[in-house]
Amino acid sequence: MTTASAQSAAFFTPVRIPLDPELVEIRHYLHAHPERSFKEFETSKYLAAQLRDHGVEVMDLPKPLETGVIGLIHGTANGSDAKGPRVGLRADIDGLPVREETGLPYASVNDGVMHACGHDFHMTGLLGAAFWLAAHRDRFAGTVKIVFQPAEELGEGARRCIEAGVADDLDAIVGTHNNPNYAPGEVAVGVEPMMAGCVKFRVTLHATGTHAGYPHKGTGPIEALASMILSLQTIVSRNISPFHAVVLSITEVHGGDVWNVVPAEAGFQGTVRFFDRADQEIVQRRFRDEVESTARAYGINADIDWNVLQQPLVGDPKLSQILADDVHAYAKLRPIRPSMAGEDFEEFSNRIPVAFAFIGSNGEPGCPDWHSPNFIGLDGAIEPAVNFYANAALRLLSELA
């Protein structure tokens, strides 16, 4: 920390907020009522009602947002509720197209949709922090903006919020993600990369279809597709340092729908995960070379759609270290174990400083991870999430002042 940070740290004491049983009920309700990305209408109404019931001002939703909730809590420590820095606290709110198989008594009642990534925890933790901050305005100066963000799972929600101006008046913003690889009561926050950059790619092959008995009269794409998939698996192993974490996965293949016809079109899609932007550029260049050269060899054409959904998520070094120093007051600080999952919270870092934490949500050996129909997060994760959000707001407002 800088000298100024060390001095302000001497005057800041983290709070420890006990678990409110109401939050367990809220979490169970949210878990049972998930909604898909950009369709979180009932979730948004519920969140807004909870905020209003606890004295939080709810803002009109700025365009182009149609779902999500924005709340404001003004501190009164300096005798004014309109002065001072402004810090954002963000939680994502969307569920996944997964049919739940946990057997929990509060399992999803919306068939084919599940909070399989634990966004019900994120919402509950942020609600709990908002309730406490609204009831203790005299403990801080400045403003806390509560941001319930839609559509994280599509990788588009944070960008939509930024386009709507949500971050324009903020000095910093804080986010969290539950992590079943840590136990409840454990928190990981720091200066290391936390979540991977994410690429979504799609390749469409255009050929000349023909009768399966006369393959020489066409230029079928199936053989080319198979060759491409095999050759693409060598990109990471032969072009990226073994000390760098990069993953290239083919996740969907399609081509043809009749047993005796060589199709005129086929394709595949998948993802690349990375922690170094230079590695992503290498993979992208080699990917294009492999696909285009193979297509030429088979006499067909290839269209490549390469979409960088997110860059790697790395918290601001100063803010992240400051928040890590406070964790001991309410949880166990653990080392960051980077995740190959992506997080569109990273988008905010292009505008303002960000800090991010993993909140332990299970910790049992072999427990199902994110996006599994058997994913189970434990209620013990709620209290550390509330404490991290609330203390992050108090500490950053103090630092920024």
Of the candidates 364, 379, 373, 381, the one whose C-alpha atom is nearest the C-alpha of residue 108 is 373
Q: 101 exposed, middle or buried (CB, 10 Å; 0-12, 13-18, 19+)?
A: middle
Last residue of a domain, one of 281, 309, 337: 309
The answer to whether 177 is a known ligand-binding residue is yes
- What b/e sequence results for 325-358 when a residue is b if at least 16 CB atoms lie within 10 Å of its CB, and e otherwise? bbbeebbebbebebbbbbbbbbbbbeebbbbbbb
Helices 41-53 & 21-32 angle (0-180, nearest 10): 170
Q: In this structure, what is the dihedral angle of CA atoms 281, 282, 285, 289, given to the nearest 10 degrees?
A: -160
Buried b / exposed e over 287-318, threshold 16 CB at 10 Å, is beebbeebbeebebebeeeeebbbbbbbbbee
Check whether residue 147 and residue 162 sit in a common domain.
yes
> Is 178 found in the same domain as 233?
no
- Chosen domain end from 309, 328, 347: 309
Same domain, 258 and 160: no
Tell whether residue 371 is among the known ligand binding residues.
yes
Cα Rg of the chain (Å, integer): 24
pLDDT higher than threshold 70 for residue 80 = no
Tell me, yes or no, whether 165 and 292 share the same domain: no
Tell me, yes or no, whether 26 and 54 share the same domain: yes
Question: Taking all residues of the chain, what is their mean pLDDT, rounded to a whole number?
Answer: 95
The answer on 91 and 38 residing in a single domain is yes
Length of the chain: 401
Residue with tokens 């939680």: 91
Domain identity same for 221 and 304: yes
pLDDT of residue 83: 74
Place of tokens 């959904």: 309
Same domain, 322 and 394: yes
Could you tell me the pLDDT band of residue 6, with boundaries at 50, 70 and 90? very low
> 106 and 29, same structural domain?
yes
* Counted domains in the chain: 2
Distances (CA, A) of 86 to 164, 320, 339: 17, 17, 29
Task: Dig out the tokens for 261 from the structure.
Answer: 């016809």
Q: What is the pLDDT of residues 352-399, one digit of tens each?
A: 999 999 999 999 999 999 999 999 999 999 999 999 999 999 999 999
Annotated ligand binding at 367? The verdict is: no
| CATH number, domain with residue 382 | 3.40.630.10
Nearest residue to 125 via CA among 326, 375, 381, 297: 381
Average pLDDT of span 281-308: 98
Phi, psi for 5 (deg, rounded to 5): -65, -40
User: What is the pTM for the complete model shown?
Assistant: 0.92
Q: What is the mean pLDDT of residues 186-203?
A: 96
161 is in an annotated binding site: no
Give me the domain span that covers residue 152: 3-195+313-400
Binding site annotation covers 25? no
Residues 191 and 201 in one domain: no
Grouping H, G, I as helix, E, B as strand and the rest as coil, residue 32 is helix
Residue 211's alpha-carbon distances to 76, 258, 264, 297, 365, in angstroms, are 77, 10, 11, 21, 53
Q: Residue 2 above 60 pLDDT?
A: no
Quote the pLDDT of residue 79: 77
Q: What is the band of 22 on the pLDDT scale with cuts at 50, 70, 90?
A: very high
Residue-wise pLDDT tens digits, 100-138 = 999 999 999 999 999 999 999 999 999 999 999 999 999
Taking phi over 0 as left and psi of -120 to 50 as alpha, with beta for the rest, 53 belongs to alpha
